Amino acid sequence: MHSSLTFTLSLILSVHVYGVAGAAWGYNYKNGPQTWTGACQTGLRQTPIDIRTMDTDYSLMDRVNFIGYDQLNEVTAVNNGHTVSAAGFTEWKNKPYISGGALEGKYYLQQFHLHWGQKDHVGSEHKIGGLSYPAELHLVHLKEGLTLAEALTRGDGLAVVGVFLNIGESGEPLAALTKNLEELTYSGNMTQIDKFRPRSVLPTVTDAFYRYEGSLTTPGCNEAVQWILLAEPISVTRDQMEQLRKIRNTEGEEHEFNFRPTFPLNGRRVRFRPAQYDRLRFCSSSYFPSLFITVFSIILSKILN
């Protein structure tokens, strides 16, 4: 894990999946999202989106299984000029992966990174009913059996789990990363995190989530992503947010923001799995009446609306 080869492979992965390493794009008026080309301008299933009730359908999907997320191991964190990201999971003996959640097959964790803004009312890439969280974390997964090049050409090549960050009293979820943030102030800085547990950046309850087909949120905006947005946020302290806001971009300046604006659904529908839906209990005699009432209430509300 400490070899230069390992870090090189991690950096190459970040370059291919999220266009880093001195690329000419960014988030200011000269190189921001309005200047990105290709699918970023012409695509019809772009990300992020604003998730609204009228575009959302309740769905009895399986839970998302986070396999190998409880182990402690080494990762390399880097400031790539666009965000702070961490990689190295593919070098672990037991590689973390996800399944379930209406995904077909296994998706192996490649890296995670963050999006934020300088004000509390902006920062997340996705919005819920027009409102933003202060920040959003993305866990990027590659479908089993595919290379990155292959994955970027397929609608289901990647699966990204989005986690919203909300300012609160506990800073435990991001503690392993934020205690090293001073070492990542400038573009190109990197540091080793010796003991990182992927489960730490997930909310306690992961049963409820939004599901839709979308794209990468950075150039080339490949429409290759199955998105899973967890409904419950994790907590970050105000001090941790202030640390994050001091991270500098490729121009040596603090990011005013590093999130992309939302895009129309263009006919897509968002599926939502509420926490109370549990397919393993679907046929339970004690559970069926409450499920019937829930479903009936949903149907009735749609009719009345």
Judgement on whether residues 187 and 161 belong to the same structural domain of the protein: yes
Marked catalytic residue, from 83, 115, 136, 141: 115
Which pLDDT tens digit goes with each residue over 188-209?
999 999 999 999 999 999 999 9
Judgement on whether residues 116 and 235 belong to the same structural domain of the protein: yes
Judgement on whether residues 167 and 122 belong to the same structural domain of the protein: yes
Task: Indicate if 141 belongs to the active site.
Answer: no
Which pLDDT tens digit goes with each residue over 130-148?
999 999 999 999 999 999 9
Percentage of residues in the chain having pLDDT higher than 70: 83
Which pLDDT tens digit goes with each residue over 21-43?
445 899 998 999 999 999 999 99
Distance between first and last Cα of the chain: 56
Task: Indicate if 91 belongs to the active site.
Answer: no
Task: Indicate if 82 belongs to the active site.
Answer: yes
Structure confidence at residue 305 (pLDDT): 56
Marked catalytic residue, from 91, 125, 136, 223: 125
Q: Are β-strands 50-51 and 127-128 bridged in parallel, bridged antiparallel, or unpaired?
A: parallel
Judgement on whether residues 226 and 286 belong to the same structural domain of the protein: no
Marked catalytic residue, from 47, 76, 138, 250: 138
Q: What is the mean pLDDT of the chain?
A: 88
Judgement on whether residues 186 and 305 belong to the same structural domain of the protein: no
Structure confidence at residue 177 (pLDDT): 96
Answer yes or no: is pLDDT of 12 > 80.
no
In the chain, the amino acid numbered 79 is N
Per the structure, the complete domain to which residue 295 belongs is given by 281-305
286 DSSP assignment: T
Instruction: Report the CATH number at residue 69.
Output: 3.10.200.10
Structure confidence at residue 283 (pLDDT): 45
Task: Indicate if 183 belongs to the active site.
Answer: no
Task: Output 286 or 107, whichever has higher pLDDT.
Answer: 107
Judgement on whether residues 100 and 150 belong to the same structural domain of the protein: yes
Q: pTM (2 decimals)?
A: 0.86
Nearest to 138 by CA among 204, 256, 226, 61: 226
Judgement on whether residues 178 and 298 belong to the same structural domain of the protein: no
Which pLDDT tens digit goes with each residue over 77-92?
999 999 999 999 999 9
- Going from the C-alpha of 16 to that of each of 11, 139, 218, 234, 276, the distances in angstroms are 9, 15, 11, 28, 38
Q: Are β-strands 225-230 and 97-100 bridged in parallel, bridged antiparallel, or unpaired?
A: unpaired
Marked catalytic residue, from 82, 126, 141, 255: 82
Judgement on whether residues 286 and 267 belong to the same structural domain of the protein: no
Residue 205 φ then ψ, to 5°: -110, 120
Answer yes or no: is pLDDT of 121 > 50.
yes
Structure confidence at residue 282 (pLDDT): 45
Structure confidence at residue 24 (pLDDT): 86
Structure confidence at residue 228 (pLDDT): 98
Judgement on whether residues 134 and 260 belong to the same structural domain of the protein: yes
Task: Indicate if 2 belongs to the active site.
Answer: no
Marked catalytic residue, from 113, 126, 141, 255: 113
Burial class (CB in 10 A: 0-12, 13-18, 19+), 299: exposed
Q: Are β-strands 56-58 and 270-273 bridged in parallel, bridged antiparallel, or unpaired?
A: parallel
Task: Indicate if 138 belongs to the active site.
Answer: yes
Judgement on whether residues 291 and 243 belong to the same structural domain of the protein: no
d(CA 263, CA 156): 19
Marked catalytic residue, from 83, 178, 217, 218: 217
Query: Based on the structure, what is the number of domains in the chain?
Result: 2
98 DSSP assignment: E
